[in-house]
């Protein structure tokens, strides 16, 4: 008897399921009481196994492959009321996973969290509808910001977050499905169009292609793509303008100095499509400049920069300067690369320009710099503090287009000139032309600040005909005038302007003949014609002597 009752109840439930397929939009009331719990569970499982569709529709793979009959034959219950079974058994509907919640990304700015990603043309997404595989699949957001989905048609999702787009798709499918469970995920992001302006080396618009849908390009990555920051970039007040679906532009203020100083990654904002970055200019801070130049998103230190240098250098003009150490071997010659790669600085520019002149005012060196807005900034560096106190901040880092101005000192002291002459940005050698009564007259190369007596010794010293008490010094002044002075030289004296002055580049030293040598040369010149007459008179006698002996 129990066996027959079980068979009867099974047939009754299957009959109700067939009746449901004839009218899908009406919910089915389950029996209020079932004598056998196992049969109730079996009926619920059998009925809920069918997808909840009311009309046939094309699929992602083949829009015309599903017919009305085939859909009807697989239809099922969509609005089953909850059933209280046993504590050890649960309804299959209770096991349906809920739509995953999208947590907002981490905050990159202290007072303003990052906005979630919004969909746009070119994004590739995947849509999964629970127990409806024929309408699940991958699709692209079209150029007009819509999705073209089977059965639901075109759905606008442009500018929406994944959560908003999921709700939009669910609402569209709810016209055909009973409580559709839609899950949407981003597979491939569209290329991001991001603009950057201000104090970067290559401002403009950039297309960033990312294959990893879980990671967005950051602010520092785009700055590096744009060639890095300039030396006057204001990293504390960077602005990112982000378009919103409402049409109101969101402005995000970024302080990258916190990232540099503390390594706070929240300051490295993740970018979105359509973002516009502006990096303003600031006045030069000599203390912070080396720190900013060493940042990973600064400009390339190995890249040559074009600068101009004028004033008290041996070869003023325009130069291409790198960060390599430049050694100036001789005054007026272009410095040669000899060392590791560092940053292009004022002293390296001076070296490349042939070295600094003795009359340079190194306390008032100026650097003129143009901002991206076209305004000029002028800041001073004191190279005397660099020599005296080792203040490396004064050796300012240069950037593309800088102009270095070396003014002329009004009244330099001999002691200061001596120190400047031995500086690393002074020439290693100067040229002095020693002429007259020396062993090897001509141009000699001596170190800067060499005294007069050593310049003469470099030319081999006095010869036997030299006037040893005094010499003549001819010097070309910076203003173009020429000064000639007689100096009573004293080899026992140190450097002094009276008896043993320090040599400058292109000085001319003239060593005259002594009095005895001058008289001898005069007598020689006087007797030269008489010697010619005597030679003519002696010619016949020499002829007789030659042929008479024969």
Domains observed in the chain: 2-95 (no CATH), 124-188 (3.30.1950.10), 192-293 (3.10.560.10), 305-421 (3.10.560.10), 430-513 (3.10.560.10)
**What pLDDT sits at residue 367?**
96
For the cut 50, the answer to whether the pLDDT of residue 211 exceeds it is yes
Structure tokens at 256: 């990258």
pLDDT-wise least confident of 78-82, 160-164, 181-185, 207-211? 78-82
For the cut 50, the answer to whether the pLDDT of residue 42 exceeds it is no
CB atoms within 10 A of CB 61: 10
For the cut 70, the answer to whether the pLDDT of residue 521 exceeds it is no
For the cut 50, the answer to whether the pLDDT of residue 406 exceeds it is yes
**What pLDDT sits at residue 136?**
92
pLDDT category of residue 543 using cuts at 50, 70 and 90 = low
Buried b (16+ CB within 10 A) or exposed e, 446-460: bebbbbbbbbbbbbe
**What pLDDT sits at residue 505?**
83
322 or 283, greater pLDDT? 283
**What pLDDT sits at residue 247?**
80
Q: How far apart are CA 335 and CA 539, in angstroms?
A: 65
Predicted model pTM: 0.62
pLDDT-wise least confident of 184-198, 363-377, 400-414? 400-414
For the cut 60, the answer to whether the pLDDT of residue 525 exceeds it is yes
Average pLDDT over residues 428-451: 89
**What pLDDT sits at residue 463?**
86
Nearest to 94 by CA among 167, 41, 137: 41
Average pLDDT over residues 385-400: 92
478 or 258, greater pLDDT? 258
Contacts of 304 (CB under 8 A, 6+ apart): 320, 321, 322
Average pLDDT over residues 222-250: 91
Cα dist from 533 to 311, 529, 537, 539, whole Å: 62, 7, 6, 10
**What pLDDT sits at residue 502?**
84
pLDDT category of residue 301 using cuts at 50, 70 and 90 = confident
Q: Which of 93-97, 342-346, 367-371, 517-521 has the highest mean pLDDT?
A: 367-371
**What pLDDT sits at residue 75?**
34
Percentage of the chain exceeding pLDDT 70: 68
For the cut 60, the answer to whether the pLDDT of residue 23 exceeds it is no
Q: How many residues does the chain have?
A: 550
């Amino acid at each position: 008897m129990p066996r027959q009752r079980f068979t009867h109840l099974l047939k009754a439930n299957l009959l109700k399921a067939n009746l449901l397929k004839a009218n899908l939009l009406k919910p089915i009331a389950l029996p209020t009481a079932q004598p056998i719990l196992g049969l109730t569970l079996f009926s619920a499982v059998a009925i809920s196994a069918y997808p909840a569709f009311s009309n046939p529709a094309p699929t992602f793979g083949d829009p015309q492959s599903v017919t009305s009959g085939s859909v009807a034959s697989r239809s099922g219950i969509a609005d089953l009321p909850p059933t209280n079974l046993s504590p050890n058994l649960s309804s299959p509907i209770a096991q349906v996973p809920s739509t995953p919640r999208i947590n907002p990304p981490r905050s990159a700015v202290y007072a303003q969290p990052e906005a979630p990603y919004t969909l746009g043309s070119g994004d590739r997404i995947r849509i999964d509808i629970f127990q409806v595989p024929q309408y699940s699949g991958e699709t692209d957001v079209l150029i007009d910001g819509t999705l073209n989905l089977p059965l639901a048609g075109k759905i606008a999702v442009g500018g929406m977050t994944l959560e908003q787009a999921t709700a939009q798709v669910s609402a569209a499918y709810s016209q055909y499905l009973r409580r559709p469970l839609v899950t949407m995920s981003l597979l491939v992001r569209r290329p991001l169009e991001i603009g950057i302006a201000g104090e970067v080396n290559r401002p403009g618009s950039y297309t960033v292609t990312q294959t990893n849908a879980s990671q967005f390009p950051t602010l520092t990555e785009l700055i590096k793509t744009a060639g890095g920051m300039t030396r006057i970039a204001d990293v504390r007040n960077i602005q990112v303008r982000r378009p919103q679906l409402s049409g109101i532009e969101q402005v995000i203020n970024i302080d990258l100095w916190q990232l540099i100083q503390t390594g706070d990654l929240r300051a490295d904002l993740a970018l979105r499509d359509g973002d516009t970055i502006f990096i303003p200019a600031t006045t030069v801070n000599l203390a912070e400049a080396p720190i900013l130049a060493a940042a990973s998103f600064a400009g390339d230190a190995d890249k040559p920069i074009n600068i101009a240098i004028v004033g008290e250098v041996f070869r003023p003009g325009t130069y291409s300067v790198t960060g390599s150490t430049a050694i100036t071997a001789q005054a007026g010659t272009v410095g040669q690369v000899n060392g590791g790669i560092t940053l292009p600085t004022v002293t390296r520019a001076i070296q490349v320009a042939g070295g600094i002149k003795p009359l340079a005012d190194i306390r008032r060196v100026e650097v003129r710099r143009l901002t991206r807005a076209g305004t000029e900034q002028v800041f001073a560096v004191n190279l005397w503090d660099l020599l005296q106190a080792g203040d490396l901040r004064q050796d300012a880092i240069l950037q593309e287009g800088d102009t270095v101005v070396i003014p002329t000192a009004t009244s330099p002291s001999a002691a200061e000139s001596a120190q400047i002459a031995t500086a690393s940005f002074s020439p290693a050698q100067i040229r002095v032309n020693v002429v007259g009564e020396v062993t090897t007259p001509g141009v000699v190369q001596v170190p800067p600040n060499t005294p007069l007596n050593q310049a003469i010794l470099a030319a081999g010293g006095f010869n036997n005909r030299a006037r040893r008490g005094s010499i003549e010094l001819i010097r070309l002044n910076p203003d173009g005038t020429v000064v000639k002075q007689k100096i009573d030289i004293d080899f026992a004296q140190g450097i002094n302007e009276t008896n043993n002055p320090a040599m400058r580049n292109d000085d001319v030293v003239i060593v005259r003949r002594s009095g005895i040598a001058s008289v001898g040369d005069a007598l020689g010149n006087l007797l030269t014609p008489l010697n010619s007459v005597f030679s003519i008179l002696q010619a016949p006698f020499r002829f007789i002597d030659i042929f008479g002996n024969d």
